[in-house]
Each structure stands twice: as C-alpha cells, then as structure tokens.
Amino acid sequence: MWRDEGLIIEIVAGSRAYGLEEDESDEDVRGVALPPREWLVGFAPPVRQHTHASQEADRVVHALPKFLHLALNGNPNMLDILFCAETSIRVLTVPGKELREMRAAFLSKRLYAAYAGYASAQLKRMRSHNTAQGSRGRAVQEYGYDPKNAMHLLRLLLTARQLFVTGDLQICLPTEDRTFLRAVRRGEYTASEIQQWALEWDAECGRLALSSQLPDGPDFVRVQRWLERRQTRWICRDASFWDEEMSRA
C-alpha cells in the first residue's frame, strides 16, 4: 500500500509526544508518505490521507503534498511531526530527515492565529460537554466541563507562548508546565479559572507574536523547491532508490 511503500516519517503522537500520557492513554501514530506516481502524473484521483484504527493504535498517514499544505498553514498536529522529540520517532528515512532539518521554514508569526484557533476549538468542546461518554462523561458530570479538552486548550496556548518567546517550537513542554497540565486534566481547577487563563494567555500570545523575531510567514519557496525535488526523485526512482533514500533508521 502507498502509505507503507512511500512512508518517510512516522511518530507516536498525541499525549505521549507531549509527555502527558496516562496509563490508559491510547497510542496515536501519525505519518507522512510520498504518494504513488499515478497520483502525481496520471489520472488516478489522489487520496489525501489514510486512517486505520485498531485496538493497539490509531494510525493516520498523510500524503506528502497534503501534509506540507497543512503544516505551512500552521496545523499544530502536523507541526508535531516536525518538532517532536527524536524518542517519539518510529520511522525515519532520508526524505523524512530532510523534512525535519528544514522545519524552521514552517515557523512564523502566523502560527499565533493557528494555535489560537485550535485553542478556541478546545474551549468550545470543553463547554459543550453533554455528549461526552465513558470516563470523560463521568469527569464532565463531576467537574461540569471536560478536563481533557481544558488541558489541551491550555497546552496549545503554553506551546505558542514558548514559541514566541524562544523562537523554537517545543511540543513537550518543561516539567513545570506538564505538572500543571496534569492537574488540569485531573479537574483540580474550576471552569472559570481555566477560561480566565485562556483569555489572558491568548492575549499575551498575540502580543508576543507581534514582537517576536520570527518571520511574518513561512518559507513557502524553500518548501516548494524541496517538494519538487523530492517528488521528481520519487517519480524517476530506480532500484537503488530504496537503499539510498528509503532505508529506515
């Protein structure tokens, strides 16, 4: 299948990549793959991603062009693949290594809008808690909101704040922040406290983004040139390609 043949990078994502996992946390796997040649030069309609859920893990593999489009637009879930710790990586090939080496090209002031938007979505889910099921439903009944959504809401804002202060994206936050976020997950704060922090940190991130040394936008030209070269190499590959480019570290 294309998702395995062209796989260039795959990571363990989600709470495990953030250093916020619990004993019952699911394993989320995210990857990027070069698409089949017929998607690039033929009539076959491209498949943008493949999703597979099992008892062991939920796996999503994105076709490289879609992944780059989402990452350049600041999708935090895609940026996780570029900026996760090396210990989270399950598969890494030569193209995947190149992709991570140019990850700074994806950082810009525009990430404020992306992270704030995703945080806002978590806030809405936190408030719309009457559909939660299982352990999350029981937590909602106990605390009056979904503490998992609350944790990710504040995680996104803390991540963005650190980005604009340091100029680098660190998705596994410092120990102090992770300790705080685990307390949020346990429901140790009220919904009012969480919403107040969200408002304050969102405003702070906006100010920090404006004054940061990051460029106004991502380096589309650099990424486009890399994509053209990589896909051309993929289309024209020969037998040596697998040993030179796709061997897995």
- Please list, in sequence order, all residues whose beta carbon lies within 8 angstroms of the beta carbon of residue 111, skipping any fewer than 6 positions away: 74, 79, 160, 163, 169, 209, 214
User: Does residue 45 sit in the same domain as residue 118?
Assistant: no
User: Does residue 147 sit in the same domain as residue 202?
Assistant: yes
Could you list the beta-strand ranges (E) of the chain.
Answer: 7-13, 28-33, 49-53, 58-63, 89-92
Q: Is residue 132 scored above 60 in pLDDT?
A: no
> What percentage of the chain has pLDDT greater than the value 70?
89
User: Does residue 38 sit in the same domain as residue 77?
Assistant: yes
pLDDT digits (tens, 9 = 90+) for 33-88: 998 888 887 766 665 656 655 555 688 999 999 999 999 999 999 999 999 999 99
In a domain, 249, yes or no: no
User: Does residue 85 sit in the same domain as residue 150?
Assistant: no
Joined tokens for residue 52: 């597979």
Write the CATH number for 30.
3.30.460
User: Does residue 203 sit in the same domain as residue 225?
Assistant: no
pLDDT digits (tens, 9 = 90+) for 5-46: 899 999 999 999 999 988 777 789 999 999 888 888 776 666
User: Does residue 102 sit in the same domain as residue 222?
Assistant: yes
Total of domains in the chain:
2
Sign of the C-alpha dihedral computed for residues 85, 87, 91 and 95 taken in this order? positive
Q: Is 7 helix (H, G, I), strand (E, B) or coil?
A: strand
Range of the domain at 98: 2-106+218-244
Q: What is the pLDDT of residue 158?
A: 98
Q: What is the pLDDT of residue 45?
A: 63
In a domain, 50, yes or no: yes
Asked whether the whole model's pTM tops 0.75, one would answer yes
User: Does residue 121 sit in the same domain as residue 200?
Assistant: yes
